[in-house]
Amino acid sequence: MTSVRSPYPDVHIPDNVSFFEYVTGNFKNFGNKPAMTDGITGASYTFHQLDDAIKRVASALVKRGLKKGEVVAIISPNCIEWPVLFFAVISVGGIITTCNHGYKETELSSQLSNAGAVYLVAAKSSVRTVSKMRYKVRERFIIGDADGYTSYSELIRDDGSRFPSFVKINSKTDICVLPYSSGTTGVSKGVMISHYNLVANLEQTRPVRIRNRKNNCSLAVLPFYHIYGMVVIMSSCLRYGNHCVTLPGFEPKSFLRTIEKYKDSLLSTVVASMENIHICSARKSYVRNISVRDVSPSKVARLSLVPPLALFLLKSPLVDKYDLSSLEDAGSGAAPLGDEVMQQFLRKMKVKRFVQGYGMTEASPTITLVSPDENHNLGSVGRPVPNTQCKFIDPDSGKVLPPNVPGEILVKGPQVMLGYLNRPKATAETIDKDGWLHTGDVGYYDENGICYIVDRIKELIKYKGYQVAPAELESLLKSHPDISDAAIIGIPDERAGEIPRAYIILKDSGNGKITTEKIQEYVTSKVAPHKRLRGGIAIVTEIPKSASGKILRRLIRDQYKKSIAK
Ligand code: 4UV
C-alpha cells in the first residue's frame, strides 16, 4: 500500500457555490430555531434573525465601499456578532483574515499589512491595541461603540437594500478566508483558503461528524479566529441548523455554568429571548421574542475541546459541582491527546463518545477523523475523511513507508489550501509538484488504515493548541539591543501541552546589566499571552546550527531532556 485512502466513498463537492451560499442557504428552513446564543449574556439570534442581520451588515459594508477581493480583518473574542460580520463580508466576495484577540499592536499591524486589510472589525477589548497600531485601514468597525469607529449597531440598522442578489465567485480560485499559520517553518503566513476548500471540508466531514447528524447544541469556547472554531464549530453548526452557544474565552466557572445552564436549551432559549429585551438598544429593535413553539429541543450535548480543556474536565474539583449530564459527545483536536486521558475522560464524564480529529489550517482544516460509530483505538486520530489520501514518508529519503512505521504525513485532497499569500517559495516547499501537502507531522497508520500522530518535525510549538512560531520569537529576541542570537524550542508541559523556552546569547556578555527577568518583561510586552516564554530563558554561549545556519532544534531539545533527567 503506498497511501491510505479514505475508507469512505467519495462525496460530491459542489464547485458552483460560495461558502456563504453553502452555509446560509438553509437558514430559511431553520427559521426561528436558535442559531447563536451568548453563553454569558443570553443574547441570541435565531436563524431567521442571523440571516437578516448578515444581509443588513453586508449591505452597509457595500455602501461603505467594500468590494470583492478586499480583505477585512476581525479581532474579537467569540460573540454572536462574529458570524454576522464573517458571513456579511464573504457574502459580497470579501476575504476575512482572523486575528487572535490577545495580539499586541506589532503582531496585529504585521498581519494586517501582510494581508493588505482595508477594513478592521474590533471588539471593545482591542481598542487600545488598535489605537497604538501603525498600520491604517480605510474604516474601523466596532462590536459595541468607541470614538473613531463605526458601530455594529449602525451597520445593523441598514435597510439591507444593497445586499447583492448575485456575486460572481469562482469558488476554486477565489480566496474566502485568510487565517495565519507558520506552517512547517518560519513566521506566520497568510493561508489562502478558497470557498471550494471550505465547502469541501464540510462535505467531507458530513458523513463522519456527529454534529452534522442531529439536532443538538455545541458550546463554542474555542475561538472562531482559529480554523478549528471557525469551520469545525461555527460554520458546521450553522450549516446543519444546530445551536451554537458562544463563550468569549475559557474561564472555569463560566464554562461549567454555561454547560449546566444550557443543559436543556428549550428552557434556556426562552429565558435568553426574554433577556434579549434588556440587551443593547441596537439589538432591542432587532431581536424578536422567540415563542416556546418556535424552539426545537436541543441541549449542550457536544463539546469540541483541545487537550488542556479535556484535562481540566478530568482533573478540576470544580467539575463535580455542576450538572454536566447533558453532555453526550466530546471531540478533541489541535494537539495530541493520549489514550489513557481519553479513557479516564470517558469514565468520568460519562459521555457516549470521545473522538479525535487531526487537521491543520492549511487543510481547511480536517484531514482525519474518528467516526463516532467506531469509537475504539482511543489514541488514534481515525481515518482520512472522504476524498482524502494520506501517505507516510521517510522525511530524509522521501520513501513511502509501510503500515506501523512512523514517517512524515503527506495529504492530498480538495481541502488543501491554494497556498501562502505572496509566498511562492514557502508554498512550493509545503505543497509539492504532485499536490501533496507536507504537514511536518510524524505519524503512522496500522493494518486497518487507522492513523496515529506521534511527533512533529516542523518548528511549530503548540501552546494549548494555539500556534507559536519559534522564528517569530527568535526575531523578536534578536531585535533586543542586548541579545546577539536566540533559539526557541517547545518543551513539554502537563497543562498546556508545550511551552516556549528561549536560549539566548548576550552581546558583550550583557555587561552584567541585563537579566532574564527583564527579557521576560520585554517579550511579554510585545506578544500575545500564548507566546510568552513560559518555559524560561537560558543564557548560553553557543546555539547549535547546521552548516547552512539552520538552528538544530532537535539537538537543543535533546540537551534539555538530558538536563532535566539529571
Ligand atoms: O494549523 P493548526 O493550528 O490547526 C489545528 C487544527 C485542529 C483541528 C482540525 C480538525 C479537527 O477536526 C480538529 O478536531 C482539530 O490545530 O495546527 C496544525 C497542527 O496541530 C497539530 C499538528 O501538529 C498540526 O500540524 N495537531 C492538530 N490536530 C492534532 C495535532 C491531533 N489530533 N493530534 C496531534 N497533533
In this predicted structure, the answer to whether residue 4 has a pLDDT above a threshold of 90 is no
Question: How far, in Å, CA of 431 to CA of 236, rounded?
Answer: 26
User: Which atom of ligand 1 is nearest to 332's Cα?
Assistant: 14
Q: To test the ligand 1 pocket, which listed residue (197, 366, 462) has its Cβ within 8 A of the most ligand atoms?
A: 462
**Which residues, in sequence order, are bridge partners of residue 409?**
392
For residue 157, how far is its CA from the centre of ligand 1 (angstroms)?
A: 39
Question: How far, in Å, CA of 69 to CA of 428, rounded?
Answer: 23
Interval 70-92 mean pLDDT? 98
In this predicted structure, the answer to whether residue 296 has a pLDDT above a threshold of 90 is no
Name which residue leads in pLDDT, 5 or 411. Answer: 411
Tally Cβ neighbours within 10 Å of residue 294: 17
**Which residues, in sequence order, are bridge partners of residue 455?**
442
For residue 496, how far is its CA from the centre of ligand 1 (angstroms)?
A: 15
Per-residue pLDDT band for 269 (boundaries 50, 70, 90) equals very low
Q: To test the ligand 1 pocket, which listed residue (202, 225, 360) has its Cβ within 8 A of the most ligand atoms?
A: 360
For residue 304, how far is its CA from the centre of ligand 1 (angstroms)?
A: 13
φ/ψ of residue 436, rounded to 5: -85, 130
Question: How far, in Å, CA of 75 to CA of 82, rounded?
Answer: 9
In this predicted structure, the answer to whether residue 288 has a pLDDT above a threshold of 80 is no
For residue 455, how far is its CA from the centre of ligand 1 (angstroms)?
A: 12
In this predicted structure, the answer to whether residue 443 has a pLDDT above a threshold of 80 is yes
For residue 104, how far is its CA from the centre of ligand 1 (angstroms)?
A: 24
CA-nearest residue, atom 27 of ligand 1:
334
E-strand stretches of 7-110:
34-38, 44-46, 71-75, 95-99
Tally Cβ neighbours within 10 Å of residue 499: 22
Question: How far, in Å, CA of 494 to CA of 184, rounded?
Answer: 24
Lowest-confidence region among 151-155, 368-372, 484-488, 493-497: 368-372
Share of the chain above pLDDT 90, in %: 83
Residue 462 confidence (pLDDT): 97
User: Which atom of ligand 1 is nearest to 460's Cα?
Assistant: 23
Question: How far, in Å, CA of 36 to CA of 66, rounded?
Answer: 25
In this predicted structure, the answer to whether residue 2 has a pLDDT above a threshold of 90 is no
User: Which atom of ligand 1 is nearest to 458's Cα?
Assistant: 23
What does the block give as the cell for 428? 512550493
For residue 378, how far is its CA from the centre of ligand 1 (angstroms)?
A: 16
Q: To test the ligand 1 pocket, which listed residue (303, 305, 358, 410) has its Cβ within 8 A of the most ligand atoms?
A: 358
**Mean residue pLDDT across the chain:** 91
**Which residues, in sequence order, are bridge partners of residue 268?**
none
Tally Cβ neighbours within 10 Å of residue 118: 18
For residue 517, how far is its CA from the centre of ligand 1 (angstroms)?
A: 33
Per-residue pLDDT band for 476 (boundaries 50, 70, 90) equals very high
User: Which atom of ligand 1 is nearest to 359's Cα?
Assistant: 9
For residue 366, how far is its CA from the centre of ligand 1 (angstroms)?
A: 8
**Which residues, in sequence order, are bridge partners of residue 445?**
451
Residue type, 170: N
Pocket lined around ligand 1, Cβ cut-off 6 Å = 181, 227-228, 232, 331, 333-336, 356-361, 365-366, 369, 381, 439, 441, 453, 456, 462, 465, 467
Cβ within 8 Å of residue 340, ≥6 positions away: none
For residue 228, how far is its CA from the centre of ligand 1 (angstroms)?
A: 8
Cα angle 242-248-254, degrees, rounded to a multiple of 5: 90
CA-nearest residue, atom 34 of ligand 1:
336
In this predicted structure, the answer to whether residue 70 has a pLDDT above a threshold of 70 is yes
For residue 340, how far is its CA from the centre of ligand 1 (angstroms)?
A: 19
Question: How far, in Å, CA of 256 to CA of 129, rounded?
Answer: 30
Name which residue leads in pLDDT, 2 or 49. Answer: 49
Interval 362-380 mean pLDDT? 88
Residue 125 confidence (pLDDT): 96
Helix (H, G, I), strand (E, B) or coil at 486: strand
Provide the Cα torsion 309, 315, 317, 321; round to 10°.
50
Question: How far, in Å, CA of 341 to CA of 339, rounded?
Answer: 6
For residue 29, how far is its CA from the centre of ligand 1 (angstroms)?
A: 33
CA-nearest residue, atom 19 of ligand 1:
360
Question: How far, in Å, CA of 448 to CA of 444, rounded?
Answer: 11
Question: What is the crossing angle of helices 81-91 and 47-63, to 10°?
Answer: 50
Residue 43 confidence (pLDDT): 95
What does the block give as the cell for 408? 512524515
Per-residue pLDDT band for 265 (boundaries 50, 70, 90) equals low
Interval 155-178 mean pLDDT? 97
Please report where in the chains the cell 492549511 appears, as a residue: 362
Nearest to 38 by CA among 1, 79, 73, 68: 79
User: Which atom of ligand 1 is nearest to 466's Cα?
Assistant: 3
CA-nearest residue, atom 33 of ligand 1:
336
pLDDT tens profile 324-355: 999 988 999 999 998 999 999 999 999 988 99
For residue 437, how far is its CA from the centre of ligand 1 (angstroms)?
A: 14
Question: How far, in Å, CA of 307 to CA of 339, rounded?
Answer: 11
E-strand stretches of 446-533:
451-456, 461-463, 466-468, 483-493, 497-506
Nearest to 227 by CA among 272, 267, 176, 270: 176
Element (H, E) at 194: strand 189-194
Interval 80-95 mean pLDDT? 98
Put residue 435 in one of left, alpha, beta given phi > 0 → left and psi -120 to 50 → alpha.
Answer: left
User: Which atom of ligand 1 is nearest to 367's Cα?
Assistant: 10
For residue 19, how far is its CA from the centre of ligand 1 (angstroms)?
A: 22
Share of the chain above pLDDT 70, in %: 92
CA-nearest residue, atom 4 of ligand 1:
360
Put residue 404 in one of left, alpha, beta given phi > 0 → left and psi -120 to 50 → alpha.
Answer: left
Nearest to 206 by CA among 374, 390, 385, 380: 385
pTM beyond 0.90:
yes
Interval 260-289 mean pLDDT? 44
CA-nearest residue, atom 2 of ligand 1:
360
In this predicted structure, the answer to whether residue 194 has a pLDDT above a threshold of 90 is yes
State CA 167 to chain mean position distance.
27
CA-nearest residue, atom 17 of ligand 1:
360
Which of 107-116, 290-299, 365-374 has maximum average pLDDT?
A: 107-116
What does the block give as the cell for 240? 446543519
Element (H, E) at 122: strand 117-123
